[in-house]
Structure 1
Amino acid sequence: MPSIWTSLASLALIPALFLVATRILSFKTRWDPCLKHCFVTGGSSGAGLALATLLAQNGAHVSIVARDKAKLQKALEVLETVRHNPQQIFRAYSFAVNTEQGSVAAIGAASEPFDGHCPDAYFLCAGASRPGFFVEQTEESLKAGMESTYYAQAFSALAATKAMVQQGVKGKVVFCSSILGYFSMVGYSTYSPGKFALRGLAETLQSEFMLYGIDVHIAFPGTIYSPGYEEENRCKPKITLKIEETDDGAQPEVVAKVILDGVRSGKFHISVDFIGHVFRTSTAGSSERNSYLLDWVHAVVGYIGLPTWRKMWVDNLVVKHRDEHEGYLRERGLCSVE
């Protein structure tokens, strides 16, 4: 007679097999960006430009948005070098998208060459990181952090949604969070909160947008070797740099390919590399799984490895940094204790 544990294990397999079968039977045709109008914020450099370039290579119409007009012009020249067919339309627009007004204006401008029809897909890559210790922050810097990490994408999504719903466009909204939207550590008090917030927004909209036939995706890349990364390293605390010294980053082109592949195959959470898969599966909640087999493996690795890594590497380094940090604070008048 089978034991109670054997019976429970058998019962547990039933929903797992059902989910796998459902996944197989609900296989979707891969999304094709060819001659779709794709709107890319943060499209003048880094991962945004790499995504815009990849979309152009795949035959999409591409509108890129950023603030720096000179960078936008250079980015347009890059897109022209990978043009797939003469029908494609490439445009660049200089707008600040950290307000709804700016986002509405950007989408409106991008819609004009298409007789007022709004874009089909929105790749929201705008954002920046300025690391520092929380004790150094001000009300203004905390608000600025949320503007550059959350509002720069949230307001674009809001404007995009209103345009798509009004016109009946069944398109895509793709957010770009960060692996620091799954966990965080010293130095990222102005960055991680916004990236966590993007996940919360995406989780909400992935459910809500089923009402409109709009797909939602969110990417969680790790370190991207881009001009933005070089800029943030100039102000990054020493302890944060020390913790990250073993981090294997990726070129923007590699990250862009993984993100676009994830979007084309219909993935909701898109993680870029092994450690990203581990964090994704360890914090999945009720989010849709990407692979019911591999996600189990990544989750087991995370269950054992992530707390060990946090305790033995990250926390240990932070504690060792206390004396140096006290000296740093005294130099800046933030601590009077000798």
Structure 2
Amino acid sequence: MVAPALSTTVAFDILTFITAIWAMLSRKKWDPRGEKGADVSIVARNEERLQKALEQMENARQTPNQVLKTYSFALNHASSSSAAFDAACNGNGGKCPDAVFLCAGASRPGFFVEEDEASLRQGMDNGYWVQAWSALAAAKRTAKDRSPGKIVFVSSVLGYMSIIGYSSYSPAKHALRGLAETLRSELLLYSVAVHIFFPGTIYSPGYIEENKSKPKITLKIEESDEGMQPDEAAQRLLHGVQEGHFHISADFLGNLFRSSTSGASPHNNVLTDIVYSFIGRIGLAFWRRGVDASILGHRAEHEDYLTRKRFFNSKVMGTSQ
């Protein structure tokens, strides 16, 4: 009585495996006009930085007829995000972009006990809502115009886990994953693909700025992180989108976290993800233990830091007898 059931299970596993392999071999890569020569529109708030970005794009121009434009909008509200998306469409003959890359975000690390309502709200505004409002504008317009395309979120490896110092940053990156998971499913109705990128350290101006407030213990934990330059991160992001990956990782550690926390998310490659997951189940446990040990070893220095900041109550309650 057991043998037939076992055979059915084995047959189903083999069929699933063959289907996965066929999907990987037959997947058609996305090709934004041969990777070069694409029309590009950039939306940001700071006009000076936009002008510099436009100059860089002009220096990299591939064809005379490329459309390269910038638009100055604050994207922290649904209305302004919608206006920005409409402006980009209108500047391209009324056509929706083939792909929308949502890269906005900022981090100001610190200890949770020193945060307040304003800083925590700002963390969600900068890390989640700016991308969420833009995604909403893109989804509405592409659905109304019946225009297939791609929406690409940029999260962080801290969207898979988190460590000390990122209480105002990581929640937004986790929230982006939740939104991307939902939209990957829902936007199938409109032939809109969804991707989300989980990079580690990127040596950008924002990284230099965040290190100004980053706790010493956080810097210590991150000191072995090799990081990457912005151009390299962009190349890995583009490669993941071209390969059709939903979750896009930038390095080995990112792949370990991705495979170990995949849940019901689609695999990038069934075989390699099995290997990554196996390594992650063992290696990440040791990594976390090392992180916790570093934090506990920092306790005395941290208490001294808070004492100098006059954080503790001046009157300490004694133990009742």
- Fold conserved (TM > 0.5)? yes
Equivalent position SS for 1:328: helix
2:243 maps to which residue?
265
Q: Tell me the TM-score normalised to structure 1 length.
A: 0.88
* Deviation of the 1:12 alpha carbon: 6.1
Equivalent position SS for 1:293: helix
Following the alignment from structure 1 to structure 2, what is the Cα–Cα distance between the partners of residues 152 and 332? 33
- The one-letter amino acid paired with 1:215 is A
Following the alignment from structure 1 to structure 2, what is the Cα–Cα distance between the partners of residues 188 and 29? 38
Following the alignment from structure 1 to structure 2, what is the Cα–Cα distance between the partners of residues 190 and 158? 23
2:293 maps to which residue?
316
1:327 maps to which residue?
304
2:270 maps to which residue?
292
- The one-letter amino acid paired with 2:31 is D
> Is 1:166 aligned to residue 147 of structure 2?
no
Following the alignment from structure 1 to structure 2, what is the Cα–Cα distance between the partners of residues 110 and 184? 35
* Deviation of the 1:333 alpha carbon: 2.1
Q: Deviations over 1:111-144 (max 9, x none)?
A: 1222322222100000011100000111111100
> Is 1:129 aligned to residue 107 of structure 2?
yes
Q: CA 1:16–1:77 in structure 2 vs 1: closer, same or farther (change >3 Å)?
A: farther
Q: CA 1:148–1:14 in structure 2 vs 1: closer, same or farther (change >3 Å)?
A: farther
Equivalent position SS for 1:215: strand
2:319 maps to which residue?
none
1:69 maps to which residue?
47
1:244 maps to which residue?
222
- Structure 2 residue runs without a partner (length 5+): 317-321
1:43 maps to which residue?
none
Equivalent position SS for 1:147: helix
User: Percent same amino acid among aligned pairs?
Assistant: 53
> Is 1:22 aligned to residue 15 of structure 2?
no
The more displaced of 142-151 and 76-85 is 76-85
Asked if structure 1 preserves the Cα contact closer than 8 Å seen for 2:154 and 2:197, the reply is yes
Asked if structure 1 preserves the Cα contact closer than 8 Å seen for 2:67 and 2:92, the reply is no
- The one-letter amino acid paired with 1:17 is I
* Deviation of the 1:20 alpha carbon: 3.3
Equivalent position SS for 1:22: helix
Following the alignment from structure 2 to structure 1, what is the Cα–Cα distance between the partners of residues 170 and 12? 35
Asked if structure 2 preserves the Cα contact closer than 8 Å seen for 1:177 and 1:221, the reply is yes
- The one-letter amino acid paired with 2:104 is A
2:233 maps to which residue?
255
Following the alignment from structure 2 to structure 1, what is the Cα–Cα distance between the partners of residues 275 and 8? 21
> Is 1:195 aligned to residue 173 of structure 2?
yes
Q: Tell me the TM-score normalised to structure 2 length.
A: 0.92
Asked if structure 2 preserves the Cα contact closer than 8 Å seen for 1:222 and 1:276, the reply is yes
Max radius of gyration: which structure? 2
> Is 1:233 aligned to residue 211 of structure 2?
yes
* Deviation of the 1:336 alpha carbon: 3.3
1:107 maps to which residue?
85
Following the alignment from structure 1 to structure 2, what is the Cα–Cα distance between the partners of residues 316 and 134? 19
2:117 maps to which residue?
139
Asked if structure 1 preserves the Cα contact closer than 8 Å seen for 2:85 and 2:138, the reply is yes
Equivalent position SS for 1:142: helix
Asked if structure 1 preserves the Cα contact closer than 8 Å seen for 2:162 and 2:170, the reply is yes
- Structure 1 residue runs without a partner (length 5+): 36-54
Following the alignment from structure 1 to structure 2, what is the Cα–Cα distance between the partners of residues 15 and 290? 21
Following the alignment from structure 1 to structure 2, what is the Cα–Cα distance between the partners of residues 131 and 20? 43
> Is 1:274 aligned to residue 252 of structure 2?
yes
1:97 to 75, 85, 89: 75
Following the alignment from structure 2 to structure 1, what is the Cα–Cα distance between the partners of residues 179 and 264? 15
Q: How many residues align?
A: 311
Equivalent position SS for 1:106: helix
